[in-house]
Structure 1
Amino acid sequence: MDYETRLKRLRFRAWHRGTKEADLMIGGFFDAHGASLSPAELDWFEALLEEQDVDIMAWAIGSQPCPDQWQGPIMERMRTLSYVPVAR
Structure 2
Amino acid sequence: MDHDRLKRLMFRAHHMGSNENDILFGGFAAKYLMSLSPDQAERFEALIAENDSDLFNWVTSKAEVPDHLDHDVMAMIKKFVQSEAAPI
Would you say same fold, with TM above 0.5?
A: yes
Q: Does 1:29 align with 2:28?
A: yes
Offset of 1:42 from its aligned partner?
0.9
**In the alignment, which residue of structure 2 is the partner of 1:4?**
3
1:79, 1:68 → 2: CA distance? 15
Amino acid corresponding to residue 48 of structure 1 in structure 2 = L
Identity of aligned residues (%): 36
Larger CA Rg, structure 1 vs 2: 1
Runs of 4+ in 1 over 4 A off after TM superposition: none
Unaligned runs of 5+ in 2: none
Query: Match of 2:59?
Result: 60
Count of aligned positions: 85
Taking only aligned residues, the RMSD between alpha carbons, in angstroms, comes to 1.4
Q: TM-score w.r.t. structure 1 length?
A: 0.87
In the aligned structure 1, how far is the partner of 2:16 from the partner of 2:55? 11
Q: Deviations over 1:34-77 (max 9, x none)?
A: 01111111111111111011111111111101001111221111
Distance 2:72 2:6 in 1: 20
List runs of 5+ in structure 1 lacking aligned partners: none
Distance 1:12 1:35 in 2: 13
Could you state the TM-score of these two structures normalised by the residue count of structure 2? Answer: 0.87
